[in-house]
């Protein structure tokens, strides 16, 4: 079901707001919680027929090493820390800012995995 990001119809004083837009222009989607696992994607249709690739799960990441200035594709071993939610560590959910353990060492995720088709990270 589609979610709407419109303000409420009523004020806190129980008065009514006059509608200035339709619901169609303020629709949003539910969050995609990208998990650690084999690559799975979903294609969603957006407004005017555009398509967006949502990443449901992935086990590879593009790791950037600032010392050598090189990017390599490596396998993600585990999720160490996630400041977005402490329960995401147990559930193996990847978000921007999560610290992951790879073969090259610890890295911080810099991309938004639910919005893109790859996971980008930088070594720390």
In the chain, domain spans: 32-123
Q: Which fold has domain 32-123?
A: 3.10.290
Q: Phi/psi of residue 14, each to 5°?
A: 75, 10
Q: How far is CA 71 from the centre of its chain?
A: 21
Closest by Cα among 65, 41, 60, 68 to 119: 60
What is the pTM for the complete model shown?
A: 0.79
Mean pLDDT split into 10-residue runs, the chain, 124 residues: 78 90 76 92 88 92 95 95 94 95 95 90 94
The predicted pLDDT at position 35 comes to 94
The pLDDT of residue 21:
75
Give the CA distances from residue 20 to residues 9, 35, 98, in Å, rounded to whole numbers and listed in that order. 11, 39, 39
């Amino acid at each position: 079901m589609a979610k709407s990001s419109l303000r409420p119809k009523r004020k806190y004083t129980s008065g009514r707001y006059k509608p200035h837009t339709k619901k169609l222009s303020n629709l949003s989607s539910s969050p995609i919680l990208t998990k650690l696992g084999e690559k799975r994607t979903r294609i969603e249709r957006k407004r005017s027929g555009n398509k967006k690739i949502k990443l449901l799960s992935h086990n590879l990441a593009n790791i950037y090493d600032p010392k050598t200035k090189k990017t390599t594709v490596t396998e993600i071993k585990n999720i160490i820390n996630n400041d977005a939610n402490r329960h995401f560590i147990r559930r193996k959910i990847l978000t921007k800012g999560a610290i992951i353990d790879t073969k090259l060492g610890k890295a911080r995720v810099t991309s938004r995995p639910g919005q893109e088709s790859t996971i980008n990270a930088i070594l720390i």
